[in-house]
């Protein structure tokens, strides 16, 4: 019988593991590699905020999995449960939630992370997240919709509320999203003569003493200064304690009237990882230096859902894209070695650098211990991620889109309306409940 390797998750870790196996043992007739992903494409998340800012279109930063993987079986489904005793992965797929299960000899968990709302009242129901392509696309459409609504809103207080955007979290995702939102909303507002720039309010709330704590205080202070120059308000040392869709309440008792709260204040592993009877480290599945679970034979983990020990610090490696992609390849190689009965190799990696775009052609970067900022860092950021973007066709499209934006500015069309969402929901409901009439 065939041996089956199942990869649960199509993010950076899952994709790079599948790509390695696709070129090696997936070609063998006695082996089958299955990649289970809730999307049939891979998303290049470092450029996600550029979709929200209108700098790129959604299709520019995705690649179809089936075009990338020739010998790996791709299954678009949501993993619901994993039975380690019977060695099966249970999934549901399609709008009718058809159930499927896959038996495995080796299971690589690469399910990434999901937003962590910390049980804060109202945030799960009302806040906007930035974890997938739908989030970024809807945020951009939301900004345009509120600009349109504000132009015909007679109440000045309501108008200001519609044009207030608050970001919770001042890490990489929070700062990059804030800079992108501020650039887009202020540029787009110039096409709405009845709206003054003073009505627009963009705020970032961060619980620490300075922004971008991963890069240190020097860059944090620089980032704050640049954002403030572009009229972004930075609130430090406070947390969001509740949100009801119209009012953001902070830990010092103050409130911010805002129709949009963007949540980037934390992530956690998905529920499927939490449900496994294996040791965790702050919710992430604990693995050894070979990326294997010490408690379950044939179970491996990589990426944001895995706590991979760093031998230098004794702590887990940080959950970043550069670590996830390399962990995925390392896990795939060790799975291959295990099947071929060869010695496993430990995972070792040193962070090459950290970069962030903070809006308005400005960035910060620390590469190989060298720090630089400004337009040079922004140019380096764009160049590096352009080179890492999979596919030559996508690279060319992104370069063309960036060039067109420089010459002619961003587009400000609203591609999705509330009416579209209502119609889509109705049609999906009809598909899920087919008519029984003859």
Weakest-pLDDT range from 42-46, 84-88, 94-98, 264-268:
94-98
Please report, for residues 34, 157, 205, 243, the alpha-carbon distance to residue 257 in angstroms, rounded to integers and kept in the order given: 48, 9, 14, 10
The whole domain housing 372 covers: 123-267+353-408
> Is residue 14 in a domain?
yes
Given a contact cutoff of 8 angstroms between Cβ atoms, the answer to whether 303 and 12 are in contact is: yes
Apex CA 430: angle with CA 428 and CA 435, to 5°? Answer: 155
Same domain? 260 vs 374:
yes
CA separation for the pair 113, 131 (Å, rounded): 9
Same domain? 230 vs 140:
yes
Tokens describing residue 18: 């599948």
Quick: pLDDT tens for 42-63: 999 999 999 999 899 999 999 9
Judged against a pLDDT cut of 70, whether residue 437 lies above it is answered with no
Apex CA 122: angle with CA 118 and CA 123, to 5°? Answer: 50
Which residue's entry shows tokens 């109705």? 426
Give the per-residue pLDDT at 417.
Answer: 72
CA separation for the pair 333, 327 (Å, rounded): 10
> Is residue 418 in a domain?
no
Same domain? 175 vs 46:
no
Give the per-residue pLDDT at 438.
Answer: 37
**Nearest CA among 231, 230, 149, 247 for reference residue 195:** 149
**Nearest CA among 152, 187, 231, 183 for reference residue 49:** 183
Mean of pLDDT values over 210-233? 94
Mean of pLDDT values over 91-106? 92
Same domain? 400 vs 329:
no
Give the per-residue pLDDT at 188.
Answer: 94
Same domain? 314 vs 210:
no
Mean of pLDDT values over 275-284? 94
Tokens describing residue 293: 């679970």
Beta strands in 1-105 (DSSP E): 3-8, 31-37, 41-43, 62-64, 73-76, 78-83, 88-93, 98-103
Quickly count: other Cβ atoms within 10 Å of residue 349's Cβ.
Answer: 13
- State the CATH number of the domain containing residue 324: 3.50.50.60
Same domain? 132 vs 157:
yes
Same domain? 309 vs 215:
no
CA separation for the pair 200, 207 (Å, rounded): 23
Same domain? 260 vs 206:
yes
Q: Any residues with CB less than 8 A from the CB of 22 and at least 6 apart, and which?
A: 33, 68, 69, 70, 71, 72
Quickly count: other Cβ atoms within 10 Å of residue 362's Cβ.
Answer: 22
Give the per-residue pLDDT at 415.
Answer: 79
Place 352 in a pLDDT band, splitting at 50, 70 and 90: confident
Look over the chain and give the mean of its residue pLDDT values, rounded to a whole number. Answer: 92
Quick: pLDDT tens for 387-429: 999 889 999 999 999 999 888 888 888 877 767 666 666 765 6
Mean of pLDDT values over 287-292? 97
Same domain? 100 vs 134:
no
Judged against a pLDDT cut of 50, whether residue 326 lies above it is answered with yes
Which residue's entry shows tokens 């609504």? 149
């Amino acid at each position: 019988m065939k041996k089956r390797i199942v990869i649960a998750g199509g993010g950076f870790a899952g994709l790079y593991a599948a790509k390695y196996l696709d070129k090696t043992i997936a070609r063998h007739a006695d082996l089958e590699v299955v990649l289970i992903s809730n999307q049939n494409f891979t998303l290049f998340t470092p450029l996600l905020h550029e979709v929200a800012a209108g700098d790129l279109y959604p299709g520019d930063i995705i690649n179809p999995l089936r075009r990338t993987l020739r010998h790996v079986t791709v299954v678009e489904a949501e993993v619901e449960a994993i039975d380690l005793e019977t060695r099966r992965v249970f999934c549901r797929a399609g709008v009718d939630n058809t159930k499927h299960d896959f038996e495995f000899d080796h299971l690589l968990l690469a399910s990434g992370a999901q937003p962590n709302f910390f049980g804060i009242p109202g945030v799960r129901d009302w806040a906007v997240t930035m974890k997938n392509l739908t989030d970024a696309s809807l945020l951009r459409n939301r900004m345009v919709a509120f600009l349109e609504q504000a132009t015909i809103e007679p109440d000045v207080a309501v108008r200001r509320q519609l044009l207030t955007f608050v970001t919770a979290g001042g890490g990489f995702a929070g700062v990059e999203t804030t800079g992108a939102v501020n650039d887009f909303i202020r540029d787009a507002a110039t096409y709405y003569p009845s709206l003054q720039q003073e009505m627009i309010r963009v705020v970032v709330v961060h619980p620490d003493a300075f922004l971008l704590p991963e890069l240190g205080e020097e860059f944090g202070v620089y980032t704050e200064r640049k954002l403030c120059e572009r009229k972004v308000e930075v609130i430090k040392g406070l947390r969001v304690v509740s949100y009801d869709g119209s009012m953001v309440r902070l830990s010092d008792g103050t409130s911010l009237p805002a129709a949009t709260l963007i949540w980037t204040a934390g992530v956690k592993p998905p529920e499927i990882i939490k449900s496994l009877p294996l040791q965790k480290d702050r919710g992430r599945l604990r693995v050894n230096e070979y990326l294997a679970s010490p408690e379950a034979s044939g179970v491996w983990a990589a990426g944001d859902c895995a706590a991979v020990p760093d031998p230098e610090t004794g702590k887990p490696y940080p959950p970043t894209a550069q670590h996830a992609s390399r962990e995925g390849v390392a896990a795939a190689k060790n799975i291959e070695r295990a099947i071929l009965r060869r010695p496993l190799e430990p995972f070792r990696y040193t962070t090459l650098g950290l970069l962030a775009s903070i809006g308005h052609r400005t960035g910060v970067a620390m590469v190989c211990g060298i720090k630089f900022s400004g337009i040079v860092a922004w140019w380096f950021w764009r160049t590096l991620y352009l080179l890492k973007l999979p596919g030559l066709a996508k690279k060319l499209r992104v370069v063309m889109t960036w060039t067109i934006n420089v010459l002619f500015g961003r587009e400000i069309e609203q591609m999705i309306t509330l009416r579209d969402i209502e119609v889509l929901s109705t049609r999906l409901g009809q598909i899920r409940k087919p008519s029984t009439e003859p």
